[in-house]
Structure 1
């Protein structure tokens, strides 16, 4: 089952697991802390997430380009995780919403620094025929952390502590474990860094890679925040005390499906698996738009979770298949930037459509964009090695 999961891939998976445990001990409680303790409104919560994620997206692009120029990607990965692990628990000391904004942005700065170099290091560390499996494993560990984190926070608040700030400070422990794993266990791969002249070319992806990134951006415009799905669940009668359970169930499906579908893309081709995932997304969004009761919501969250399993590992492996080995960091930088650049307007569009056209129309809009992106991917993107025979093991 774990054949081809190299030491670096395993350790970086564990790093993501502990980091997400730390992050998800805080993130679900942040709205309550901001509104109930610090007296901020929902608009300020939106501003915090918008500023933080925009900063992260830009830094993912820059750090990816820089990682191709330096000899050791590990240093950037370590800096990024260290910054996040140091900043995140400081929310426990925040006395104002503005302080939370600064701390949350610092946390996302760390994410921006580490993400593209880490994904490039995974590509450097695994056989090309097993890239889908490697990225699928990494995403499954990430989702496992996102499943465990809220459960740890719930356990702490139910039996051990009453102050949200204490939970935030305790989130430093898994974050520290993640940093120590990088220091002790992650190894740089042998590679020749890109020279200054070649680096300039990293700013303009060409050919199938450029078309792939543009199509991903189009798809992301219809892929709004999953917070809207939780809002939909609430309007259909899912009580507040079952919302965290629904969210945990959703992450369980993502965790269980990421590695098998990533490995499937190694065998039958990336594009087929991505197209299947986007098809699942489109059907799930139509379902959410038309859903009428709580049982349908639970089934739809399970189905929607398969979209992540089908696409997260395969999309990254497909990107590596199309990119120059000396410019993988830049490729991941543009990949993360395209998704990040589309995420903010996607949620704004979704919210505006919901407000002016009702709760069904935005889901139909998202499904339609997904279908269009799927057709464009099928027609316009054909990487040079797409039909090359897979390596046998």
Structure 2
């Protein structure tokens, strides 16, 4: 049976949720310590072009999303989430030292690719385990709290990275070494405190068990395809919106480059990400504090519009203070939409398909994000050649997010009409 938690004290009443969240918090610290400076390391130390960096960002994210697809499905199949979480964390620790010695496009691509693969292995099982651990009325609160604490970890990691870069004269390798400490702590917490709590007593799972067992004997990707047919239409509406939105959610590296367009010092670049992550953390924690359990595509639409405005503020006619406004809006967008998307997936997907549903989400994102990064990199290269800095990336982002907002509005109206029709038919 899943852990019970009180609405008034979500963080203190559920030991499994606490362990997941705190482990993610430490992982966030470790991740941002590396990636807040890695894009600058690639461009200014290794002399890679913006287009090369965009290709790396998109390519390694594809590795991550492939791992998320498989691990989510397997965690459903074997009803084990913890083993995939631990495996991903250990692999992440093993690969981090390679960043210290990476000196070329291929070595950076390999190190970052394996690191993303490690994150991917644990991502979908972690998302599914959160839903396994709490009552459905607390999905939004739980995902918002996870998102908020993860972003807070990013803030602390960014501060640490900025301090080390400034004090030790932009010593990238030192930052990479120190990032191992929170990674080791997160792994230890996961091993000791996180527990599997798959809902074996779900009636739908019992009814479909014999059917699913026959699917398990098939090819893994064919089996995933068959299982996705059981996911509801509202879930697929959300995936269409997600695909378009992810085209405009390219790497934070382009924010770093835009900051450099305005002459922001290298040692201060991590501070930009601190502001971003602090905005994300505050908005997500605010979401988790709300007593309402109302989340639909209308609320998602409002979150998407924050990212549209963030892109608008970094167009060619912008000023230096626009970077700060844009970062805050992008952070708010992430805090609102990430918790909503997670809660909506958990709500729409049957319990026995929850890991698979998150895998589909990551598959959709895995196709869209590399494309978005490639187009953002190409647009940044074009705008750079034409004396507009890297603003081209944000022109692309604005187009993609407006399209996502439009589709969100269309599907929200459609689902409202269908719900209204069903209600009127029921009472007639």
2:115 corresponds to 1:111: no
Residue 379 of structure 1: which of 373, 395, 413 is its match? 413
Q: 1:261 Cα shift? A: 1.9
Question: Where does structure 1 lack aligned partners over 5 or more consecutive residues?
Answer: 389-393
Any unmatched runs of 5+ in structure 2? 1-6, 217-222, 424-428
Q: Give 1:301 deviation, angstroms.
A: 2.1
In structure 2, distance between residues paired with 1:330 and 1:191: 15
Farther-moved stretch of structure 1 (177-186 vs 283-292): 283-292
* Farther-moved stretch of structure 1 (108-117 vs 158-167): 158-167
User: Which of 140, 145, 149 matches 2:153?
Assistant: 145
CA 1:249–1:55: 2 relative to 1, 3 Å:
same
State the partner residue of 1:130.
Answer: 138
Q: Deviations over 1:234-282 (max 9, x none)?
A: 4355555543322211111111111222454843333332122122223
- Whether 1:253 and 2:287 are equivalent positions in the alignment is no
Q: Which segment is superposed worse, 279-288 or 298-307? A: 279-288
Partner Cα separation in structure 2 for residue 104 and residue 351 of structure 1 = 18
What is the TM-score with the length of structure 2 in the denominator? 0.81
Compared CA separation, residues 292 and 210, structure 1 to 2 (3 A):
closer
Q: 1:381 to 1:222 in 2, by over 3 A?
A: farther
Tell me, yes or no, if the aligned pair for 2:305 and 2:402 is still in contact at 8 Å. Answer: no
What secondary structure sits across from 1:202 in the alignment?
helix
Inter-partner Cα distance in structure 2 for 1:241 and 1:29: 9
Aligned to 2:258: 232
Q: In structure 2, do the counterparts of structure 1 residues 39 and 2 end up closer, same or farther at CA, with 3 Å as the change threshold?
A: farther
Structure 2 CA distance for aligned equivalents of residues 187 and 363 of structure 1: 39
Distance 1:231 1:39 in 2: 14
Aligned to 1:10: 18
How many residue pairs align between the two structures? 388
Matched with 2:243 is: 217
Which of the residues 206, 213, 219 maps onto 1:196? 213
Equivalent residue number for residue 207 of structure 1:
233
Task: Assess, with a 3 A threshold, how the Cα gap between structure 1 residues 271 and 383 changes in structure 2: closer, same or farther.
Answer: farther
Contact 2:55–2:374 (CA under 8 A) maintained in structure 1: no
Question: Is the partner of 2:152 in helix, strand or coil?
Answer: helix
The question of whether the paired residues in 1 share the 8 Å contact of 2:76 and 2:356 is answered with: yes
- Listed as ranges, the matches of 1:48-63 within 5 Å are 48-63=56-71
- How far the C-alpha of 1:166 sits from its partner, in A, is 3.2
CA gap 1:45/1:362 in 2 versus in 1, 3 angstroms: closer
CA RMSD after TM alignment: 3.0
Q: TM-score normalised to the size of structure 1?
A: 0.87
- Superposed, 1:290-369 pairs within 5 Å as 292-353=318-379, 355=382, 359=391, 361-369=395-403
Q: How far apart are 1:367 and its partner, in Å?
A: 4.1
Q: Residue 218 and residue 33 in structure 1: after superposition, are their counterparts in 2 closer, same or farther (change >3 A)? A: closer
Partner SS, residue 267 of structure 1: coil
Q: Tell me if the contact between 2:309 and 2:329 (Cα under 8 Å) persists in the aligned partners.
A: no
